[in-house]
Amino acid sequence: MFDHLSSLPADPILGLLAAYRADENPRKIDLGVGVYKDEAGHTPVLQAVKEAETRLLRSEETKAYVGPAGTAGFNAAMQELVLGAGHPALVGNRVRSAQTPGGCGALRVLAEFANRAKEHATIWVSDPTWANHVPLLGNAGLQIKSYPYYDRATSSLKFDAMVETLKQVGEGELVLFHACCHNPCGADLSREQWQVLAEMAQKQGFTPFIDMAYQGFGDSLDADAYGLRLMAESVPEMLVAASCSKNFGLYRERVGMAMAIYRDADSADRGQSQLLNVVRGNYSMPPNHGGAIVEAILTDAGLRANWEAELTEMRERINSLRSGLVESLEKAGAVGDFHFIQQQKGMFSFLGITPEQVEKLQQDYSIYMVDSSRISIAGLSQNNMEYFCASVAEVLES
């Protein structure tokens, strides 16, 4: 039955990683894979995570299933992290959630859940958006349309065009927003722009679907959730996919949360039964280890303080790299204005060069990035910054 299957091309980022690993140039730089790296190019295990894991291994007494929703402690702690203590939706008992295998698991579970509520509903996603949004949402049955978001020519938001397009979205449709640290462009909505969108959602009746993959990597845990929390105060129903991969450094543990906000508690109970049925028919129930680590950190004052300090250190390093990159490109004489990189947030930015220039950087300088020129800022360091900027300057002049 499998003889007729054809080969598919490798995922662009995974293919890029394979090429990078095979490259023997000692000066090679990987700016493709979206994981945090320290100055040594290593993705560390946070000390708060190590301590929580040590405590867990000492105290754990069973490996029994945790159930389709995960643990109540994890869900309560994550809901409060995302929405903030005392949020009206929490106070009104209108929030339900489930631990998922990463943010990807959350997106897929919520997409299938939305498809149950309205089969083949339309979901609008930003142009550009994270490449995996399309298969995760589309393969669940949702119909995908796009709205303008980022202008590569000016390296800025197309907010007016975004608003004009979203004016046609109505009740029964969903709009996917990036909560913060937009992947792939790094250009985030302002508080005033979030207010405009919240008013549109309230007036038009569309359902916001917010992807929160980088809380704490932009300005702070609370500031990065501003738009999400505002939207949750403005609309009766909303979906949220949250990831613990980046801010807890738990990439391989695959920890996320699928959260839904409902009109009232009764609707929430009915909706949760459907959401958990989706989980049961998909992966049955989530793994526990990573979720137990997150729960331990968020519910212990000492561990949480240590984690927040480490998260601040990661965020400040990325912001420092952004500033340093702009200064180094100027110093290297690179043609163009790159100040937009310093104004953006999170792990990613478009460098703003052509696919041909991206290819030349890879072939001649062993610098790896995807064709769109999206770079992972955390792949830079004080050790490789000068070489990277000099290489970009040479390519831009050739």
Residues acting as catalytic residues: 130, 211, 246
One-letter amino acid of 115: N
What letter does residue 97 receive in the DSSP assignment?
A: E
Q: What is the DSSP string of 232-246?
A: HHH-S-EEEEEE-TT
Q: What Å distances lie between residue 12 and 17, 18, 32, 44, CA to CA?
A: 9, 10, 9, 25
Residues shown for the chain: 398
One-letter amino acid of 283: Y
The two tokens of residue 96 are 């339900």
Place of tokens 């203590």: 85
Coil, helix or strand at residue 394: helix
Q: CA 204, CA 201: separation in Å to the nearest integer?
A: 5
- Angle between helix 47-59 and helix 289-298 axes, rounded to 10 deg: 110
Place of tokens 């929703």: 69
For residue 225, the tally of other CB atoms under 10 A from its CB is 25
For residue 371, the tally of other CB atoms under 10 A from its CB is 13
Closest CA to 259 of 273, 270, 275, 248: 275
Q: CA 327, CA 336: separation in Å to the nearest integer?
A: 12
